[in-house]
Amino acid sequence: MKFLIVGLGNIGAEYAQTRHNIGFDIAEALVKKHAGNFTVQKHAQYAQVSLRGRQMHVIMPTTYMNLSGKAVRHWMTDLKIPIENIFILVDDLAIDFGKLRIRANGSDAGHNGLKSLNELLLTQNFPRLRFGIGNNFPKGRQVDYVLGKWNAEEMKEMPFLIHKSVDAIESFVIKGLPLTMNEFNK
């Protein structure tokens, strides 16, 4: 069985460790845990690792957030991975910091990465892990908040939250979406 795990984010040092790049951070932790390495390939940094005989193809699009769908569509087609076997890792303003929500589908809710996926995959029906980043910002400062670095209090919790997110990915690959949703959406 093959899976495409997609961490959403933006390439470049200025975006590293920002709220909007949590998808990249989780993807990197997954690949590191399974002793893999990323290489730059078409539209993405790519790694392949395995878990109990299942192949996990992990990408971090190099297309920037707003064009993420281009990379995902390419890799899904190239690897012949069905949409139900992709898992998108994405930040979410509508969820309190540190909460995880796993869904089978959903709207883009104003998220440009998800908007690109919806447009280029021609569906909203793909599994995703939504990582809550909260919405603790003054009116009109959403972009600064999303592209901002984690504060000191948040940073203390990040290792645990990234580990929990990696556990959710592994659960999705081994147990499937319904059981993973039951376990992690508490």
Cα–Cα distance for residue pair 128/103, rounded to 1 Å: 5
Amino acid residing at 186: K
CA dist., res. 29 & res. 22, Å (int): 11
- Calpha distance 174→186 (Å, rounded): 19
The residue annotated as part of the active site, out of 20, 43, 57, 74, is 20
Question: How far, in Å, CA of 150 to CA of 10, rounded?
Answer: 16
At residue 64, what is the residue type?
A: Y
Of 117, 87, 116, 81, the residue nearest 100 (C-alpha): 87
* Residues in contact with 156: Cβ distance below 8 Å, sequence separation at least 6, in sequence order: none
Distance CA 80, CA 51 (A): 19
Active site residue 20: yes
Tell me the C-alpha distance between 147 and 20, whole Å: 6
- Measured CA to CA, the distance from residue 178 to residue 138 in angstroms comes to 37
Catalytic residues: 20
